Amino acid sequence: MEPLSSLLQDKTCPEQILYDRGYTHVAGVDEVGRGPLAGPVVASAVILPRDFSHPDIRDSKTLTESKRTELYAVISNNALAWNWALIDHDEIDHTNILRAALAAMKKAVESLCIKPDYIIIDGLHSFSSDISQTAIKKGDTKSLSIAAASIMAKVIRDLIMQKYHQLYPEYNFAQNKGYGTAEHLNALIDHQCCPVHRKSFNRVVIR
């Protein structure tokens, strides 16, 4: 019999494979914000009902902001459990972005009001847990719950960056969300970094 981890990698509905194996609460986990020069990395974990489906839930990067906001309400109203967690810019600088992203995902799972019996994670890396898990390459294109988690994390992180924009408008975080756009890089040249910039990232200018 093919190993479960291989089956989950290859199929487009990993949740169904797990349900067929007897698992009941599958948590999809994803993070947003590994690439930006400022702000936190945010992760979300989502457990959806077994019979839940929605044609618009997919990788958050393929959706408009208004559609993500709409789906945020759909997911929060229908999920059996969901939560989110962040690791801030200081901790990212203290460790590194990969460790910070995994820590955020672990915290999101541990904050769920229902303990999952299996975790599926977008990407190549897993985190320490007593719960069985599989990291799935491009999982946000194969798993409904991972895609839902990507939407929740993206909406929450964007709201955080909009709040940072009010404090530091010269960087236009409301628009670029901390990513290294040309406008953002020019603002770094003109103003140097602000308190929420990731000072360990080599494109962040420090005087």
115 lies in some domain: yes
* Structural domain contains residue 176: no
Write down the pTM of the prediction: 0.95
Residue 44 included in any domain: yes
Domain annotation covers residue 62: yes
- The pLDDT, as a whole number, for residue 120 is 97
Domain count, the chain: 1
Report pLDDT digits (tens) over 84-121.
Answer: 999 999 999 999 999 999 999 999 999 999 999 999 99
CATH for 65? 3.30.420.10
pLDDT-derived band of residue 9, with 50, 70 and 90 as boundaries? confident
Instruction: Say if 174 falls within a structural domain.
Output: no
Residues 49-59 pLDDT 10s: 999 999 999 98
Return the pLDDT at 183: 96
**169 within domain boundaries:** no
Q: Has residue 1 got a pLDDT over 60?
A: no
Look at residue 207 in the predicted model and tell me its pLDDT: 56
In which order are the strands placed within the sheet that holds 118-122? 81-87, 41-47, 26-32, 118-122, 133-136
Q: Which domain holds residue 81?
A: 4-164
185, part of any domain: no
Q: How far apart are CA 120 and CA 47, in angstroms?
A: 10
Is 199 part of any domain? no
Confidence at 206, pLDDT banded by 50, 70, 90: low
